[in-house]
Amino acid sequence: MHRSVVGLLVVLEIFLIGMPILQSSVIAQNTLAESALPVAINYLVENYNSTVGLIPEVPSGNTYWLYSDNFLASLALERYDSQYPGNLTITNIAANINGNISKYIAGVPNVLNQYIVLNSSIAVFKTSSSYTVTNYPGAVIKITLNNGTNPLNPSLYADIAFLEAIYYNNAGQAKNANDSYQIGMKMYDGNGMNDSVFQNGAQKGQYQTFKLALYIYASKVLGHQFSQSAEAVLLRMQGASGGFYTGYDGNFSSNGTNTNVETTSLAILALLGPVQTGGIFWSLVIGSVLGGIIVSVILVFYFLRKRKKL
């Protein structure tokens, strides 16, 4: 057999032998993620207050954020419901939250928040301010709006870099999307997002879990590979309640932080990824099948040529 054919067959054989190993590794990671999702969803469901029609910032809390917490929670519940349908409780809570957000923001001008890029073509990455929308007995309804005049610098804030990347991707601007993504991705130091907030100020030395979640989510949206250690760290931040802790130190200790709705919702979105069909499992299966077909074609081609020479 010709040396070039032999060499190609060897390469393909290595590919096919290695495929099950890669597949089992990916499936193992996916299994961990899939087991984390139901309890994270349950965290949101259990903390939903049917009287207010929203989820408080923290368990048993009395502050309810329209943006970003409940907007993100409704998005996470909807995405989970679309991939794992059949639970009417989840369906109804997501719909109720959406309806109540609309009710509470009626009359609020210029409702713009950085996270709306996750399900729309609108992008607003300016400084933010928080406002009280209304008060109820035992409940305060608040909102965060990115209505400032100064733009947020993606080189300083990892979350802004990844949200910009998602925006540009949605707009079909591949180069800008990749540029913004690379800015954020380079802040990942193996433990978390080492941006200006980590390096300075009141939260110095504390990684912010929601930024790690955005790194994973943006990677999936753009189709980029991301460090598997990032997802492993994210999963370590899930508490016994199902919620995800807001921060952690270099030793992955979440001491001094709490679980909350914003972080948990973004973690759910990161683990789910964007709405899609198929998945990496089937990509690997298809790759294995294609590899086998290629080997067969090469062998048939080789033996046909050999017969002609006889």
Residue given tokens 């079909």 in the structure block:
172
In the prediction, which pLDDT does 1 show?
A: 54
Parallel/antiparallel/unpaired status of strands 139-145 and 129-136: antiparallel
Residue 183 burial (CB count, 10 A): 21
Split at pLDDT 50, 70, 90, the class of 6 is very low
DSSP for 131-161, please give it.
EEEEEETTEEEEEEE---SSBPPTTT-HHHH
Q: Which of 236, 189, 197, 237 is nearest to 215 (CA)?
A: 189
Strand partners, 238: 244
Of 304, 259, 258, 232, the C-alpha closest to 33 is 232
Which of 84-93, 149-158, 274-283 shows the lowest mean pLDDT across its residues? 274-283
pLDDT attached to residue 5: 47
Tens-digit pLDDT profile for residues 115-172: 999 999 999 999 999 999 999 899 999 999 999 999 999 999 999 999 999 999 999 9
What is the rounded average pLDDT of the residues 94-107? 97
The pLDDT score that the predictor gives to residue 289 is 41
d(CA 280, CA 240): 28
Amino acid at site 192: G
Residue with the larger pLDDT of the pair 27 and 193: 193
